[in-house]
Structure 1
Amino acid sequence: MNLKAKSLSRPAPPWHIALFLAPAVIIYSLFSALPLLDTLRLGFYTSSDAGVHSFVGLSNYHTILFDPDWSAAFWNAMWNNVKFFAMHMLLQNPIGLLLATLFSLKGLRGARSYRTLIFLPTLLSVVIIGFIWQLILSPLWGVGETLMGHVGLADYFSPWLGQQSTALVTLALISVWQYIGIPMMLIYAALLAVPEEVLEAAYAEGASGLRIFWQIKLPLILPTLGLVTILTFVANFNAFDLIYSVKGALAGPNYTTDILGTLFYRTFFGYQAQIGSPTMGAAVATLMFLVILLGVAAYFYGVQRKLTRYEL
């Protein structure tokens, strides 16, 4: 028995570990790491009409950031991306926190059905979501104006997707509606993990439900809120499909819904009168990667370290 126990507790040989990790490492290297490295490399080159690549160093990045013909489009897309992310942070995550808190309350009738209905749009294709909302909000054949008329708000209906001042906000609200189930479920799981003994002790001391939430539950789920924040940041600065499915690669009207994803698409593949350039597109993709990398690094340096110290 002792010999068997010793053999079971013996660590696996290194080649066993390499064998089990090999499939994941190979797939990740082929489809993620190597394409990323090749994109970073391609951003330092330019291509001639014959397709010959020549090394130009940081010239592509200087053109995108400072050339008047490129910089206006890049900084417009960057600013729109910041606004797109800010609207998600101000709406999606707080509403997700509110819904998760409500669903974590004991005795709430129909909580499972409500959670399922709210999370269901997350499972649908973004292309389908964009097409459906485009039909709903269409001033010609959409049902949005009719539905608003039933509650006396028909006079407030406007072609929000076609106006420069409201197109980006409308798309952000559609995105919030679709993906609000993700922060809701993550926060809901974190709230369920709060120890019952702590809550029962607080109730025994006479603490109100609101005080328990602010002083006990909220501090305990701060790591989850941080995770939701960084996931929202990465997802929004990688966004492309919703804008493309509703407004196309030109991200109209007049580029007011243009974000880094659509700018990269037009630059790399070309669109209508714009000729595609793989090297300039790679430079735009590299800048997108750097923005996301800096945001994640700032989160881990400025937020995650404090949360880890708080947990200790």
Structure 2
Amino acid sequence: MSDVETLRRPRRWHIAVFLAPAVLVYTAIMIVPLADTLRLALFRSTDNAQTFVGLDNFKVLFGDPRWSVSFWNALKNNVIFFVIHMLIQNPVGIALAAMLSVPKLRGTAFYRTSFFLPTMLSFVIVGFTWKLILSPIWGVTPTLLGLVHLKWLFGPWLGQETTALITLALISVWQYVGVPMMLIYAALLSIPEEVIEAAELDGVTGPSQFWKIKLPLILPTVGICSILTFVGNFNAFDLIYSAQGALAGPNFSADILGTFLYRTFFGFQLQLGDQNMGATIATMMFLIILTGVAVYLFAIQRRMRRYQF
């Protein structure tokens, strides 16, 4: 009888029909370029022909000083860029979300819109606007600092090797802090009222309620924000390029893997483009991101599941 029922069970071909457009588009713009990038990383152009060289391009990237110095500098800057976001953007996002979730707070919709609005701005607008704001010649920053008697703190932050990368990271934090804020805010609103009422009956209110009850419950969302920050930062390119150009100056002090990849693949000024070495750098970026995501999924996320409802 069960065999008859199995034979009579209709096949759901419509699922494949509905999934086909998305799968085709994703394959065309993601899978195929990724596979071709991995292929290019294993070849080298000699006499206008592609020659298979295996892992030699990676040996050049790590062993040749002409490439390794720039690669390790870009990777170090990328790590610094990511750490600044983790230490500032996500904690500030949590604090803003906690503030917005207070029931007695008025104007919540206005604050949500204000904090999230920079996220929707074009990176070109953000980069050039902040470059004008921080300009020592026509920027408004010296005037604003002078109003609070702190003009002595001002300097050409985007023009100094020691401060350019940190300044750009803080600009990026300002632009994207709305993303973790909204995700964590949604997670706070999804906490069942029964849990909050039980905590209040036990005398857990105010800040202690957030630290002891709410924060452990939203840790999975905090983890998602962290991995999104990791992926976004190691894919970063637009803000650095729009503010500092492809050279990510001064003296490559703001150079990250994205700008290093751009100069290598497409070439810039007197530097000729090298598709194979560019693909090698892109492959390393992919492996770094893949490793970070795998560590999160298999080592961290499993420990957070006990906090989920």
Asked if 1:19 is matched to 2:28, the reply is no
State the alpha-carbon separation in 1 of the partners of residues 125 and 45 from structure 2: 37
Residue 164 of structure 1 corresponds to: 161
CA-to-aligned-CA distance 1:179-209 (integer Å, 9 cap, x gap): 0000000000000001111101211221122
State the alpha-carbon separation in 2 of the partners of residues 51 and 171 from structure 1: 39
State the alpha-carbon separation in 2 of the partners of residues 183 and 272 from structure 1: 38
Task: Find the partner of 1:260 among 244, 257, 261.
Answer: 257
TM-score by length of 2: 0.95
Task: Describe the SS at the equivalent of 1:251.
Answer: coil
Q: Residues 12 and 209 (structure 1 numbering): CA distance in 2 closer, same or farther, change over 3 Å?
A: farther
Kindly indicate whether the alpha-carbon contact (under 8 Å) linking 2:124 and 2:238 is maintained by their aligned counterparts in 1.
Answer: yes
- How many equivalent residue pairs? 303
Residue 244 of structure 1 corresponds to: 241
Structure 2 residue ranges without an equivalent (≥5): none
State the alpha-carbon separation in 1 of the partners of residues 246 and 199 from structure 2: 54
Task: Describe the SS at the equivalent of 2:138.
Answer: coil
Structure 1 residue ranges without an equivalent (≥5): 1-5
Residue 91 of structure 1 corresponds to: 88
Residue 283 of structure 1 corresponds to: 280
Residue 33 of structure 2 corresponds to: 35
- Could you tell me which amino acid in structure 1 is paired with residue 17 of structure 2? L
Task: Find the partner of 1:65 among 55, 62, 66.
Answer: 62
CA RMSD of aligned residues (A): 1.4
Task: Find the partner of 1:191 among 185, 188, 192.
Answer: 188
Asked if 1:118 is matched to 2:141, the reply is no
- Could you tell me which amino acid in structure 1 is paired with residue 42 of structure 2? F
CA-to-aligned-CA distance 1:134-160 (integer Å, 9 cap, x gap): 000011111111111111111111000
Residue 179 of structure 1 corresponds to: 176
Identical positions, percent: 60
Residue 151 of structure 1 corresponds to: 148
Q: Residues 12 and 68 (structure 1 numbering): CA distance in 2 closer, same or farther, change over 3 Å?
A: farther
State the alpha-carbon separation in 2 of the partners of residues 96 and 133 from structure 1: 21
State the alpha-carbon separation in 1 of the partners of residues 156 and 9 from structure 2: 65
Residue 137 of structure 1 corresponds to: 134
- Could you tell me which amino acid in structure 2 is paired with residue 128 of structure 1? I
Kindly indicate whether the alpha-carbon contact (under 8 Å) linking 2:257 and 2:285 is maintained by their aligned counterparts in 1.
Answer: yes
Kindly indicate whether the alpha-carbon contact (under 8 Å) linking 2:217 and 2:307 is maintained by their aligned counterparts in 1.
Answer: no
CA-to-aligned-CA distance 1:89-148 (integer Å, 9 cap, x gap): 000000000000000000101121111011000000011000000000011111111111
TM-score by length of 1: 0.94
